[in-house]
Chain A
Amino acid sequence: MTREEESLLVSKAQRGDTVSFEKLVLENQTKVYNLALRMVGNEEDAFDMSQEAFIKAYNSLGSFRGDSRFSVWLYRLTTNVCLDFLRAESRRNHTSLTFLSDEDEEKELEIPDDRFSPETAAEKKELREELGRGLMSLPEEYRLILLLREINGLSYEEISKALSLEEGTVKSRIFRARKRLCAILSAQGNISKKQSSNRAKEV
């Protein structure tokens, strides 16, 4: 959908045309759902979050000014809905959300070896699963910004608008998110290596 087509549907929807809004839903549902899924980590909640995001979007169409693409605005709504949900969950579970810390800057980048050029389907699957787990271990702000970049395909400029950040901050935060993810994967990898070598010993 081009920006013009999107624009037209949005203005119709703003005046009460739910049929046009439905077209916008269909166009964006996959990305919204996947964003939610990776943020909250399970399908049921992702389904609920997606609904909430779209409904909120419909109800606040009046405040959409058109200076970004509708989809970008929608993803922002989605992230807010998900963050609120995660915060509420963490209050319920008495766990705390993980925080960004400056130590991310100081630590060296650890690259888990050999894992990033999967060749077989099985390897690819394994990588995806590891990444999925790794993502859920990331602090929410890192997870969020990485997902907006990778799942929703937003540019740094769009992300800076969506999250009200400076572009420089977007760039460095994404870098740190990747760095942290690599560290997590290394750790996961070391654990599994240990496990497999232990098993090997047992045999």
Chain B
Amino acid sequence: MSDCSKFLELISAMVDGELDVVQESELRTHIEHCGECKKVYEAFKGISDALADDLVEPPETLTKEIMHKINLEKRNKRHFIFGRFTAVAACLVLILLGAWRLDLFGGNGKSVKMSAAPEEAEISNYADMKTEAASGSSKSFGLVQDSAAPESSQPNLRVSREPADSGLQLGFPAQNAALANGVKSEEIEKEPSYLLQASVFSVYEGRYYSDEDENDKNVLMFIVTDEKDLDAFSELLTAVPENVQGNKPEDGTFIENEPKYTVYVPADREKDKYAKDKIISVWFIKNEIWCLSQDVIQKESGSSKDKLSEEKILYKAAGRAEKFEDLVKKLKDSDKTS
């Protein structure tokens, strides 16, 4: 036996297929003639077979529970990149806070009152936080009262059925105001800036159900993580600064229909801890893309529901519906092959 002791570890390695061809064939030859070593080989092999043979199936719920926990954690720490916080963005916030009323679109040419102080209570949290920082810069930005909507056309986008304080904001007033004040259009950030810097979009078919109980009605089509695709989407979904003029559709009632798609844009809370995830519903009207953007307010601890902000921003996007559809198709197809 002691003679063979040098073989024992090799036998173990051979059972594991870790010997080279020469070593293995030599050892096998030895084993054929050596009863003791053969016993060892059979023991080790027997253990190996018995163990490998004995795999049990994990409980069915294992994967489900893992993914559930992961998705919960993920929602709690979504990243939203607030974007370059320029004076323009600061103003946008101020304006959203209160000054821009739907009356503007009432067709009677009433103009907008710009004020530094928020006039109503619907304040999304990030706006809240920025007010302080922003209040200084708004003055320097030089907004004036009665900024004329371009003389020619009365914007005929009306959301007449919505009461004034429904929180529905139209267009991107900062850009419009800025344009009206002669700021060059290249200097204006195309809102929504968060789109430009998000690292993930989830794209759903139709409506997005934020309620935990209804969450499984959500039809997730694909998740966009590739930079090129993210850029492409962003291009299509960013607002047209001049969206106030020459509006189609005639009124905003289309938003009562189910959107064609919904895009979920997670926020980067490392950069801005008050940032919110955004939900953008997308409709196609003729060949235009119309979007309704809402914030996902942080849910209270213990609650499983996402709360959506009362405030919604309706805007016409820069893209064409057919381009959007092409992109969707491309991503759907590529997802199938993976």
Residues of A at the B interface (CB closer than 8 Å) are: 8-9, 12, 15-22, 25-26, 29-34, 37, 43, 47, 50-51, 54-55, 58-59, 108-109, 111-113, 115-118, 124, 127-128, 131-132, 146-147, 149-151, 153, 155-156, 171-172, 174-175, 178-179, 181-182
Contacts and interface: CB of A to CB of B under 8 A. Distances in A.
B57 interface: yes
B18 interface: yes
B51 interface: yes
- Pick the 5 closest A-B CB pairs, nearest first: A116-B46, A33-B58, A15-B225, A175-B12, A150-B51
A8 B12 CA distance: 36
Listed residue (B46, B50, B52, B59) with the most chain A CB atoms within 10 angstroms of its CB: B50
A128 B50 CA distance: 6
B323 interface: no
B183 interface: no
Contacts of A29: 58, 62-63
B1 interface: yes
9 contacts: A15-B199, A16-B225, A30-B55, A31-B55, A115-B46, A118-B46, A131-B47, A171-B12, A175-B12
Among B13, B66, B69, B338, the most chain A Cβ lie within 10 Å of the Cβ of B66
B70 A58 contact: yes
Interface residues of B, number: 43
Given A15-B200, A18-B70, A22-B63, A181 B16 contact: no
Contacts of A55: 66, 69-70, 73
A171 B13 CA distance: 7
A30 B16 CA distance: 21
Interface string B38-64: 011011111110111111111100110
Nearest to A115: B46
Interface of B: 1, 8-9, 12-13, 16, 18, 39-40, 42-48, 50-59, 62-63, 65-67, 69-71, 73-74, 199-200, 220, 223, 225, 266, 338
B336 to A, nearest CB: 12
B199 A16 contact: yes
Nearest to A124: B50
B70 A47 contact: no
B50 A131 contact: yes
Contacts of B46: 115-118, 127
Contacts of A115: 46
A172 B13 CA distance: 9
Contacts of A117: 42, 46
A112 B18 contact: no
Contacts of B43: 111-112, 116, 178, 182
A153 B15 CA distance: 12
